Chains A and B, each alone.
Chain A
Amino acid sequence: GEDVEQSLFLSVREGDSSVINCTYTDSSSTYLYWYKQEPGAGLQLLTYIFSNMDMKQDQRLTVLLNKKDKHLSLRIADTQTGDSAIYFCAETGRFGAGTRLTVKP
């Protein structure tokens, strides 16, 4: 089947930038998504990018899409302790394993 892959853990210091990477295999995906899961909660859509875009910026979040390499990344600028969560990369209906971001003060 098609796979969405991402690393499982990332640790950064407060104030630094975080970059979470993801690779996918289904080139027909119209949209690609980043979801955030805080402890004890379900997933919430954080941001998305249309497949014909290379970059999308939304306040502290920057999404980069390399369609040729099927690579998606999420950059969080000025990472705060409240950003500590699990971040899931997703195509429609298919999710990666999630990257647990830990922000140290």
Chain B
Amino acid sequence: DVKVTQSSRYLVKRTGEKVFLECVQDMDHENMFWYRQDPGLGLRLIYFSYDVKMKEKGDIPEGYSVSREKKERFSLILESASTNQTSMYLCASSFGVSGSEFPYEQYFGPGTRLTVT
């Protein structure tokens, strides 16, 4: 059974704190993604990674950074949390397009609801 886990389901942080969100997948997927989900806006891509130590900016990377030191783990970092980063954060993984002839299905974790006060 495929699995994507996220370190916390709920997190409350103060403005200005450094925040780490961790994601681990056990499917040996090449690609990993971080999204934020906000009502009425759906999922917006923050960053993605197609290989270890590789990263690409998504649609809304400002205020975030990422780290992928191992294939199975992708971390999202908020260097100085702000109230407008209060959101649901979803991690996902998938096989690389070149590695699969099947649809580019993404497998999602349960999400981390982050509140910044």
A interface residues with partner B (beta carbon < 8 Å):
1, 4, 8, 30-31, 33, 35, 40-45, 48, 50, 88, 92-98
Partner of B45, one of A50, A94, A96: A94
B103: which of A1, A31, A40, A98 is its contact (CB, 8 Å)? A31
Do residues B40 and A42 form an inter-chain contact, with CB atoms below 8 A? no
Q: Check A88–B109 contact: CB distance below 8 A.
A: no
Taking CB atoms, residues of chain A closer than 8 Å to B40 are: 8, 97
Complex-state Cα separation, A31 to B45, whole angstroms: 18
Which residue of A is nearest B113, CB measured? A40
Count of chain B residues near A, Cβ 8 A: 21
Q: Considering residues A1, A48, A95, A98, which has the most beta carbons from chain B within 10 angstroms of its beta carbon? A: A95
Chain A residues near B35 (CB, 8 Å)? Answer: 95
Q: Which residues of B contact A (CB under 8 A)?
A: 4, 33, 35, 40-43, 45, 48, 58-59, 90, 92, 103-106, 108-111
Contact: B43 with A45, CB < 8 Å? no
Given A48-B103, A93-B48, A42:B43 Cβ within 8 A? no
Q: Which of B33, B41, B58, B106 contacts A45 (CB 8 A)?
A: B106
Which one of B42, B45, B59, B108 has the highest number of Cβ atoms from chain A below 10 Å of its Cβ?
B42
* A93-B48, A97-B40 given; A42·B110 CB < 8 A: yes
